[in-house]
Amino acid sequence: MTSEIKLLQLFDWDSPGEKARLREELAAGLLQPQASIAPKFFYDALGSRLFEAITELPEYYPTRTEAAIFDEHLPEIRRILGADFSLVDLGCGSCAKAGKLFHAGLLPARYVAVDISVDFLRDSLQNLKRELPAIDMMGLGLDFTDELRLPDELPLERRMFFYPGSSIGNFSPPEARAFLKRLAGQMDATGGLLIGVDLIKDKAVLDAAYDDALGVTAAFNRNLLRHVNARLDADFAIGDWRHVAFYNEADARIEMHLEARRGVDVSWPDDTTRRTRHFAAGERIHTENSYKYSPAGFETLLSEAGFTDIRMWTDPRAWFALFFARQGSTRT
Ligand code: AVJ
């Protein structure tokens, strides 16, 4: 037992190599006819805090609905996870969800908290370690959507991956399937996946959840431009961009965009010079998809990705689902 947490930083926004890669990624997205910026740019320290604020909004039902499902089924979930397991928390953010489980008696032998927002991760994990010094804790600053590299010292047995909050919704269904397959490859048959998934529901409920009256989601969306300016030296004028979010029923996804209020030029540095793009009034930058699933649809996705023994819990309105599945070890 150590009072110190280990922090392994495998992703550094500010390293020269990473910066060059991110600039290329930014340029590729901005220069498409339909411009886009990846949702990972939401999560600087302020973005992570704004997301925490979103989870408290009356319109944003996913977090509290998922928490209610956990409360309701905790004894069963505890039984399924068993003892002496490692909890690998993917995109832990404030680590609040894992902390709640620990306080409710669901205690892992070790806790591996993974997040791209490295400074936020360090603070969150230090606070959690102070509350629960008996749990071995490790932080991993990593863009796990890119590559999930776990430390060699983490035993292969009883790895329980925790992927709550419907973060899986940021992937398209084929990307989600590929990601889940890669996850399955990181555990053996004694491991498992505990994953939260937002369900298809009435469009009005979904629209409101991503366009709240207080404007917190709008701030979260627009903060992405502030982050891109600060990290990559772009020159977005934040005030020129309007938050747009809606449920696209045909594709079963929330789309978030930033829409130019007037004609604007945006520039960002290249290796040698600056590149620019003009946006006409009303043109949009696509910043996020948040896919919604039917229970049967997600179960199929899990089994296609190599998981078996699939269980699902939901709330009385069937707005959100929590799945547990084991890795199907019989595959060759
Ligand atoms: C963190 C990806 C699960 O899609 O609901 C919340 C992000 N975006 N409001 C979601 C988000 C706008 C959130 N995820």
Q: How far is CA 118 from the centre of its chain?
A: 14
**Is 290 touching ligand 1 by the criterion CB < 6 Å?**
yes
Share the mean pLDDT of the chain. 94
Query: For residue 179, how many C-alpha atoms fall within 13 Å in the half-sphere facing its CB?
Result: 21
**Is 287 touching ligand 1 by the criterion CB < 6 Å?**
no
Q: If you write DSSP's letter for every residue of 203-263 in order, what string do you get? A: HHHHHHHTS-TT-HHHHHHHHHHHHHHHHH-----GGGEEEEEEEETTTTEEEEEEEESS-
Classify each residue of 196-235 as buried b or exposed e, where b means 16 or more C-beta atoms within 10 Å of its C-beta. Answer: bbbbbbeeeebebbbbbeeebbbbbbbbbbbbbbebbebe
CA Rg value for the chain: 20
CA-closest residue to ligand 1 atom 14: 167
pLDDT at 224: 98
Helix axes 118-131, 96-103, angle to 10 degrees: 10
Coil vs helix vs strand at 185 = coil
pTM: 0.94
Coil vs helix vs strand at 279 = strand
Nearest ligand 1 atom to alpha carbon 254: 4
**Is 210 touching ligand 1 by the criterion CB < 6 Å?**
yes
At 332, is the pLDDT very low, low, confident or very high (cuts 50, 70, 90)? very low
| Tens-place pLDDT, residues 91-144 | 998 899 999 999 989 999 999 999 988 888 999 999 999 999 999 999 999 989
CA of 55 to the centre of ligand 1 (A): 9
At 211, is the pLDDT very low, low, confident or very high (cuts 50, 70, 90)? very high
pLDDT at 330: 56
Number of C-beta neighbours around residue 16 at 10 A:
8
Of the listed ranges 11-20, 168-177, 183-192, the least confidently predicted one is 11-20
CA-closest residue to ligand 1 atom 9: 210
Nearest ligand 1 atom to alpha carbon 167: 3
Phi, psi of 210 (to 5 degrees): -110, 10
pLDDT at 1: 45
Nearest ligand 1 atom to alpha carbon 288: 8
For residue 331, pLDDT over 80 is answered with no
pLDDT at 22: 92
For residue 320, pLDDT over 90 is answered with yes
| Tens-place pLDDT, residues 58-85 | 999 999 999 999 999 999 999 999 999 9
For residue 170, pLDDT over 80 is answered with yes
Nearest ligand 1 atom to alpha carbon 170: 2
Which residues, in sequence order, are CB contacts of 277 under 8 Å at separation 6+?
30, 31, 35, 265, 266, 267
CA-closest residue to ligand 1 atom 5: 290
**Contact present, 172 and 254 (Cβ < 8 Å):** no
Number of C-beta neighbours around residue 20 at 10 A:
12
At 260, is the pLDDT very low, low, confident or very high (cuts 50, 70, 90)? very high
CA of 170 to the centre of ligand 1 (A): 8
For residue 266, pLDDT over 90 is answered with yes
Instruction: Please indicate whether residue 117 or residue 43 has the higher confidence score (pLDDT).
Output: 43
CA-closest residue to ligand 1 atom 2: 167
**Is 211 touching ligand 1 by the criterion CB < 6 Å?**
no
Q: Which two three-digit tokens encode residue 22?
A: 């991110």
CA of 2 to the centre of ligand 1 (A): 34
Q: If you write DSSP's letter for every residue of 88-105 in order, what string do you get? A: EEET-TTSHHHHHHHHTT
Whole-number percent of the chain with pLDDT over 70:
98
Best probe residue, ligand 1, of 40, 290, 320 (max atoms within 8 Å of C-beta): 290
Compute the distance between CA of residue 77 and CA of residue 98 in angstroms, rounded to an integer. Answer: 13
Compute the distance between CA of residue 295 and CA of residue 293 in angstroms, rounded to an integer. Answer: 6
**Contact present, 198 and 293 (Cβ < 8 Å):** yes
* CA angle, 266 then 269 then 272, to 5°: 135
Nearest ligand 1 atom to alpha carbon 245: 12
pLDDT at 3: 62
Whole-number percent of the chain with pLDDT over 90:
85
